[in-house]
Amino acid sequence: MGSNSVRDRLVDQSLTSRYSQWVLEALDELEDPFLITDPAIAGHPIVFASRGFLAMTGYAFGEVLGRNGRIFQGPATDRRSVMEIREAIREERTVQISILNYRKDGTPHWILFHMCPIFGAEDGRVLHFVAVQVPISKRRSRCGVERCGAVLGTCREEVRLDKDLDCSHHAREVFVDMDSRGLEAKEPQMAGDQEKEKAANAINCILLALNRYSKMTGRVVCGKRCGSAGSGVASLPSSLNISLGRIKQSFVLTDPHSPDMPIVYASDAFLSLTGYSRQEVLGRNCRFLNGPGTDYEVLKEIKKSIHGQQSCTVRLLNYRKDGSSFRNLLHISPVRNASGKIAFYVCVQMDESSKNIDNGLSPEMWQLGAVGAVKVAVRSLSSSAGPSRPSQ
């Protein structure tokens, strides 16, 4: 499908378009295991994996490029840790956590996962996440409750105190009977100061490299949010980008609070349908899709609905970049955020001549399914731009 190769190209160019092509060489010189991901591409994929990372995990570069970081998780990976990482991404902040990951051959290993966001200097938008993964050397696990996952030591003590109760006896048996080969890997390993220092140093090196090379393209990045500029398109928080990336229909989000209601998000399917690139549509009003055959009455109807903050479905003739036209089944709906106020309008397009819905849904259902998903995603935001909770 067309959008796949578009996506592949986005993944390939994610770093070079921002930091120039020399950044890849510079990153290759760094020994530590790390990944760089791009939250603006559907699926929040890996756009770079260091040699150290590939050596540690046994994967080849091509096997991880474009995939999501969850492929390194497995059955014994603590769900809480996964959730903490997810929350850090959503809140666009740094996280440092011990987590159990899996190599290509399926063997588990404990790593100190240290991730931090990279912000664009001019708009404060998160461009990439850098995740350094330092292997934790095996040592005796300590008792005590830590935030980094299951600690069996505490349980054993709890169980020992209740000697007279049957179930505790059984529970102890369950712990003891666990396969000792697996036990070692599943015993949580706490990262020591050595590992934490290694991670912090690695992050700094990567940040330095990215900052230096971003100056070559004139689009500087930094490790801290430098404050968003007033001009240009309102930046969407990366969590919203990630949620929207899951929606496969053609749609755009427009910002009713900015002059001329510009497009602030365009799905890959929209770009495939219309033939435009993302840079060509962001910041522009949707009217570039209209042309000589577009019915003026329909446009008036759309305007009326938007003024009345109502949803509407219309059919109109629209035009692709190459000038060809298509009958567009268009649904427009206001989308509100957590404060109850309208944050965006969602416009879902469907080419009426294409027969590409093969999942049993009617065209209307297919469109409304996208609308619903957008509404759920945007409802999580506390304001129309920026992360939903204050950064730490």
Partner 1 sequence: MVSVEQVEGRTDYPFLRQNSGSDQSKDHQVTLKGVKIHLYKLGIIAKGNGACGCFPCTATDSQSLLDSVLLSQWEDRAWKGQLKYDVTTCQTKVINGEKKFVVQLNERWNSLFLEEFENSFLQPLGPISSNHIKSHKENVLFCVSQGEKESSEVVLSTMLPKDGILIIANANPVEYGHVFLVPYNINRLPLFLDKKMVELILRTAVEVNSSSFHVFFDSIISNRSDHIIFQASYFANPLPVELFPTVPVYADTHRTGIHICEVADYPLKTLVFMSNNLNSLSNIITEICSNLRDHGSAFNLLITDCGTKIFLFPQVQSVIMDRPISTWECGGYFVYGTKFGFDNASETEILKRMASVSLDDSSFQSLKHLCCSIAVNLFL
Residues that bind partner 1 (CB under 8 A): 42-43, 68, 70, 73, 75-76, 79-80, 82-83, 86-87, 145, 147, 150-152, 154-155, 158, 162, 165-168, 170-171, 174-175, 178-179, 182, 186, 243, 245-248, 311, 333, 335-336, 338-340, 359-362, 364-373, 375-377, 379-380, 382, 388-389
What residues form DSSP beta bridges with 97?
113
Q: Which is nearer to partner 1, 2 or 372 (CB)?
A: 372
Contacts of 174 (CB under 8 A, 6+ apart): none
Q: Which is nearer to partner 1, 94 or 380 (CB)?
A: 380
Phi, psi (deg, nearest 5) at residue 71: -65, -15
Q: Which is nearer to partner 1, 60 or 361 (CB)?
A: 361
- Alpha-carbon distance of 7 to 41, in angstroms, equals 7
Provide, rounded to whole angstroms, the least separation between the CB of residue 146 and partner 1: 9
Neighbour count for residue 196 (Cβ, 10 Å):
14
Q: Which is nearer to partner 1, 9 or 341 (CB)?
A: 341
Q: Which is nearer to partner 1, 52 or 386 (CB)?
A: 386
Provide, rounded to whole angstroms, the least separation between the CB of residue 156 and partner 1: 11
Q: Which is nearer to partner 1, 128 or 186 (CB)?
A: 186
- Alpha-carbon distance of 242 to 317, in angstroms, equals 31
Provide, rounded to whole angstroms, the least separation between the CB of residue 219 and partner 1: 27
Provide, rounded to whole angstroms, the least separation between the CB of residue 247 and partner 1: 6
Contacts of 302 (CB under 8 A, 6+ apart): 312, 314, 330, 332
Provide, rounded to whole angstroms, the least separation between the CB of residue 352 and partner 1: 18
- Alpha-carbon distance of 337 to 382, in angstroms, equals 6
Q: Answer left, alpha or beta for residue 200, where phi above 0 means left and psi between -120 and 50 means alpha.
A: alpha
Q: Which amino acid does the sequence have at 166?
A: D
- Alpha-carbon distance of 363 to 312, in angstroms, equals 15
- Residue written as tokens 């060489």? 25
Smallest CA-to-CA distance from 313 within 361, 260, 371, 265 is with: 371
Provide, rounded to whole angstroms, the least separation between the CB of residue 224 and partner 1: 24
Structure tokens at 309: 């903050």
Q: Which is nearer to partner 1, 325 or 380 (CB)?
A: 380
Provide, rounded to whole angstroms, the least separation between the CB of residue 305 and partner 1: 11
